[in-house]
Amino acid sequence: MSEIDVERAVDPIALFGLWMKDAEGDELNDPNAVALATATREGVPSVRMVLVKRVDAQGFCFYTNAESQKGAELSENPRAAMCFHWKSLRRQVRISGSVRELPGGDADEYFHSRSRLSQLGAAASEQSRVLASREVLVQRVQELEREFPREIPRPSYWRGYVLRPERIEFWKDEEGRLHDRFLFTLRGEVWQKERLFP
């Protein structure tokens, strides 16, 4: 694990990249897994795990069915929060901000980078809706496999999103629960950093 001086860091995206690199070396499964919280227009929250596929100057990118519960909530309330928890490293990162859709080309590129079965599953699924039986899903996948023997077109409802961070908090476990917490808040175009009580 690299020794990163959080106290001297000024760019939270660069710092996140270093922490993610550590996680990729130490976490056994899906270091890019994150709890994503969304809410309805009325503020009723919902949370689930998703995989962040890219982090850059735009923000934290993920892909999903726009007709799913999370997609519907993001459509009516385009704000969200994320929490990465890397237990083996005893670290977590919390992010919150606005969410917008990525261009269709980004979604096309990522969709076609997935395995064929994953593409078929995404095309067959009416995500978050009631499913009568597993057999119905399997049958839909088989039908699509016959219909598209070569390339599977990306469904129009399968889209990419980017969470544009306004707040990023880095948490590092310390002995006696004297944890280190640093909050970066975006003020205009400048990140301001504060240390928080644990």
Long-range contacts made by residues 55-61, C-beta under 8 angstroms, separation at least 24?
55/13, 55/16, 55/17, 55/20, 56/13, 57/13, 58/162, 58/164, 59/97, 59/162, 59/163, 59/164, 59/165, 60/34, 60/95, 60/162, 60/163, 60/165, 61/102, 61/106, 61/160, 61/161, 61/162, 61/163
Q: 67-79 pLDDT, tens per residue?
A: 999 999 999 999 9
Q: 158-175 pLDDT, tens per residue?
A: 999 999 999 999 999 999
**pTM, two decimal places:** 0.92
The full set of domain ranges for the chain reads: 6-111+156-196, 113-153
| 5-9, 22-26, 36-40, 194-198: least confidently modelled range | 5-9
Q: Is the CATH code 3.40.50.2020 the one for domain 6-111+156-196?
A: no
